[in-house]
Structure 1
Amino acid sequence: MILEPGREPVIDVGLLRADEIAVRLNGTFYSSGNVFRNDLVITIHKQKLVVNGIYFYDPEVLILTPEDTATFTVKNVVFGIGFHWERNEDLTFKGELCFKTENGKVRLINRINLEDYLKSVIASEMSALASDALLKAHAVMSRSWLIAQLIPKPLQGNHNSASSDEIIRWYDREDHTGFDVCADDHCQRYQGITRITNEKALKAIEETRGLVLKYEDEICDARFSKCCGGVTERFDTCWEEENPPYLQPVFDGTGTDTGNYSDEAGANAFILKDVDAFCNTSDTKILDQVLNDYDRETPAFFRWEEQLSALDVKRLLKKKIGLEVGDIVDLIPMDRGASGRIFRLKIVGSENEIIIGKELEIRKALSESHLLSSAFVVNKRTDKTTGSTQFILHGAGWGHGVGLCQIGAAVMGEKGYSFEEILNHYFKQTSLEKIY
């Protein structure tokens, strides 16, 4: 995407990559004088695109432009990839379709105006029952994050480093090539026009059109997660080695908490207690604003517990990150961020010990899908009779915890805070500016 001052950007969203992609065209589409209607099945043969069994004239790319208000429905779009709510749905989109060959598979990209993309993101990320303040705050934040991702800048540090005693990985904007953002939780959950059902969400986008968060002259890389657990996290705990001033730890409430639980004693005291924070709520009216039906499959998130046997940990490490250290002896937090989130965890085995990180790699390694967060304390129990070991993880929050806390922001909206106040709470030292 090319940013032009004063003009709304057009972005490329990666929807799906598969051996075969089935699409229903809801109207007429054009490509280089050819007319396309009804159902399409796109495959690849000998590195050429095959459309409904016929080789397309361009072996590597096919772009379809809609006539008027034509839309398209993609069959079996996967979202929530790798999480316990992963599922397939048929989803409908507006804008252009772009099919490309990619390493022997078909890649489907949706080319769409940024504001139309945001209308879907806001509806996909949360219920349109949300307060006006929350919807506007989310619109500004999502717009800022997206544009910030598309401005080239050098990465600070290696995102995938490994040695004999340490494996450190993090996942972010460098993971995509050939398109700007993906349609899943890795970026922002984008499900086309399928879930745009409420005028409130559309109004929030229109009333904040072109409005972004800025720190000095920089558009903010405005991150967010479901539930911070009481304190938001530093950027470098999760991603590259930098810490923007507007993404510093914040206590998610009105008290005077310092918001730093990076040592073991502090993390234990914080995670094992009930904290008076905005995101500490069980109010279904508020939760329904932020969590879709499949999100509600997670019963607890402000404070939670997970139990793993030593055998479970051994199996998961091999399955999820290809790590074998023998029988698991211990899990030892080495470094934590301000919210207590672990970003370096030592795995002690009977044959070897190794440190893994950052936070998402830890969450991947210790769960069939992903742990809710890496803010947990470890309680190790060994049965004296059988010798078997259990690890009880007492955790806090849902997600990486950086930036805006969606549940906390929803509570703030219900309490009467404005969208500007919500943004100022989570993103310190920022200002609002309309850029188109």
Structure 2
Amino acid sequence: MSEPIVNVGILEQPVLEFAFHGDFECLSTENKVYGKSRASFRDGKIEWEGALYNELVFAPVSDSTSFFEIKNVIIGINFHWERKEDQQFKGGLKIVTDGDKLVAINQIGVETYLTSVISSEMSATSSLELLKAHAVISRSWLLAQIEKAKEMQTQAVHYDACVRTEESLIRWYDREDHTLFDVCADDHCQRYQGMTRQNKVVAQAVEATWGEILEYDGKICDARFSKSCGGITELFENCWEPVSHPYLTVLRDVADEDKMTDLTVEANAEQWIRSAPTAFCNTNDPDILNQVLNNYDQETTDFYRWTVLYSQEEISQLITRRTGIDFGVILELIPVERGTSGRLIRLKIIGSKKTLIIGKELEIRKALSTSHLYSSAFVVDTFDRVDGVPQRFVLTGAGWGHGVGLCQIGAAVMGAKGYTYNDILLHYFRGASLVKKY
């Protein structure tokens, strides 16, 4: 099996500005293209150089020297550090329409893609073993998504990621949202920022693990990762579709696992979140954190345990704005169901106008932050009640992200302690095997 090609959604806008460096050919017209260019949405088609097209595909004549640039790419979408930057890409550029916008898609070899992904997720100061581990899980995740999409298309599977009733709204967010490309370039899938962030150490890690994937029971593992599990990992089915993956199990993020605490029990979860138990990811070592956190990530200072404060006015306006539902004055936030890491799967919001249970974890995080709450593993304290209405809400939480699979900060600590990439992978993905796919 040769190296697969992946289609990565980079930017969706009514107007796209881009530039070609080196020799490119427009496969739609069979003409060579050079320099700066611009495409616009018009009458359901792509307007480019005075003509209308259903799609445009630009391919490099020489992969080794040619690249293209896309202007004003949005990174960190809906996060507190969202911003725009110009990005450069190897491979081909495909432009299609979606609604009233154009979509820029990078067609790129998996291994080149991975070099950028890991450079976007990790620092050049990361240990080689950590980078190799991340190369394997990023490759595994990507190929598993492509494989799953093909299966769903072949079997004509209907995928619904939302269950809505009068009493509850349960929704999850996964890459099945994408139909025009395999994966997007933002945190929704994996951060991919083209040639903008690449380094030699990451290239070495990708080369050393070329084609290696995690496999379980003959299938590529849907290998997930997050910044910090908070000390205990979460189950896949508690964050996404109700499917169990045995290799994405609950585990204590320590070398010698002691007796597991059942954090699905509310009293246990509260005690766990209010304390700071020993874990690989419980670290403030700047050298280790610099390996995992890029500059914009380092704007987040507390992640293993954190606190967020809201006034009554702030939380009521926030929840209404983020959910699109007018709850009125927020009276209570009540845990209904927790997962294995203490993350809330279902949360009851009681307002003066509306009561509703929401989930899963990302839906909860989106409702309680202008971007995304660090995680859904939190407890709520209320203060200063006036006529039964709390005037202050304090959320005390644990971890950063969904907590499923590899814990990036925990893995960085393991790498610093001398664990091999195989050790790291088999710590977080129990029962999986390392296999060379191509």
TM-score, with length taken from structure 2: 0.95
Q: Is the 8 A contact 2:23 2:34 kept in 1?
A: yes
Q: What do you get for the CA RMSD once the two structures are aligned?
A: 1.5
Partner amino acid, structure 2, of 1:233:
E
Task: Tell me the equivalent position of 2:195.
Answer: 193
Task: Tell me the equivalent position of 1:295.
Answer: 297
Q: Is the 8 A contact 2:9 2:185 kept in 1?
A: yes
Distance, in Å, in 2 between the alignment partners of 1:362 and 1:319 is 13
Q: Deviations for 1:278-320, whole angstroms, at most 9, x for unmatched residues?
A: 0000101000000000000001000000012232222122211
1:208 has 2:218 as partner: no
> Cα offset for 1:55?
1.4
Q: Is the 8 A contact 1:157 1:240 kept in 2?
A: no
Task: Tell me the equivalent position of 1:3.
Answer: none
1:367 has 2:363 as partner: no
Distance, in Å, in 1 between the alignment partners of 2:351 and 2:387 is 21
Query: Which deviates more, 151-160 or 226-235?
Result: 151-160
Q: Give the 3 Å change call, closer, same or farther, for CA 251–388 of structure 1 in structure 2.
A: closer
Distance, in Å, in 2 between the alignment partners of 1:28 and 1:385 is 71
Q: Give the 3 Å change call, closer, same or farther, for CA 337–303 of structure 1 in structure 2.
A: same
1:30 counterpart (25, 46, 61): 25
1:188-267 matches, cutoff 5 A: 188-196=190-198, 198-254=199-255, 255-267=257-269
Q: Give the 3 Å change call, closer, same or farther, for CA 341–239 of structure 1 in structure 2.
A: same
Q: Deviations for 1:390-425, whole angstroms, at most 9, x for unmatched residues?
A: 111000000000000000000000000000000010
Q: Deviations for 1:87-144, whole angstroms, at most 9, x for unmatched residues?
A: 1000100000001122121110000011110010010111021001100000000000
Q: Is the 8 A contact 1:48 1:55 kept in 2?
A: no
Runs of 4+ in 1 over 6 A off after TM superposition: none
Task: Tell me the equivalent position of 1:78.
Answer: 74
Distance, in Å, in 1 between the alignment partners of 2:158 and 2:130 is 32
> Cα offset for 1:385?
8.9
Distance, in Å, in 1 between the alignment partners of 2:69 and 2:422 is 36
Distance, in Å, in 2 between the alignment partners of 1:121 and 1:432 is 20
Task: Tell me the equivalent position of 2:391.
Answer: 389
Q: Deviations for 1:52-103, whole angstroms, at most 9, x for unmatched residues?
A: 4x114xx210100112121011100001101101110001000000011221
Query: Which deviates more, 325-334 or 255-264?
Result: 255-264
Partner amino acid, structure 1, of 2:209:
T
1:353 counterpart (341, 352, 355): 355
Q: Is the 8 A contact 2:331 2:389 kept in 1?
A: no
Percent identity between the two aligned chains: 49
1:43 has 2:44 as partner: no
Structure 2 alignment gaps of length 5 or more: none
Query: Which deviates more, 405-414 or 172-181?
Result: 172-181
Query: Which deviates more, 102-111 or 154-163?
Result: 154-163
Q: Give the 3 Å change call, closer, same or farther, for CA 175–385 of structure 1 in structure 2.
A: closer
Partner amino acid, structure 1, of 2:324:
G
What SS does the corresponding residue of 2:147 show, helix, strand or coil?
coil
Q: Give the 3 Å change call, closer, same or farther, for CA 395–73 of structure 1 in structure 2.
A: same
Q: Is the 8 A contact 2:44 2:100 kept in 1?
A: yes
Distance, in Å, in 2 between the alignment partners of 1:219 and 1:161 is 28
Distance, in Å, in 2 between the alignment partners of 1:84 and 1:258 is 34
1:427 has 2:421 as partner: no
What SS does the corresponding residue of 2:194 show, helix, strand or coil?
coil
Partner amino acid, structure 2, of 1:20:
V
Q: Is the 8 A contact 2:261 2:268 kept in 1?
A: no
What SS does the corresponding residue of 2:195 show, helix, strand or coil?
coil
Task: Tell me the equivalent position of 1:316.
Answer: 318
Partner amino acid, structure 1, of 2:251:
V
Q: Give the 3 Å change call, closer, same or farther, for CA 352–383 of structure 1 in structure 2.
A: closer
1:97 has 2:93 as partner: yes
Distance, in Å, in 2 between the alignment partners of 1:157 and 1:75 is 34
Partner amino acid, structure 1, of 2:215:
K
Distance, in Å, in 2 between the alignment partners of 1:288 and 1:10 is 31
> Cα offset for 1:173?
2.1
Q: Is the 8 A contact 1:184 1:190 kept in 2?
A: yes
What SS does the corresponding residue of 1:279 show, helix, strand or coil?
coil
> Cα offset for 1:156?
9.8
Distance, in Å, in 1 between the alignment partners of 2:314 and 2:258 is 40
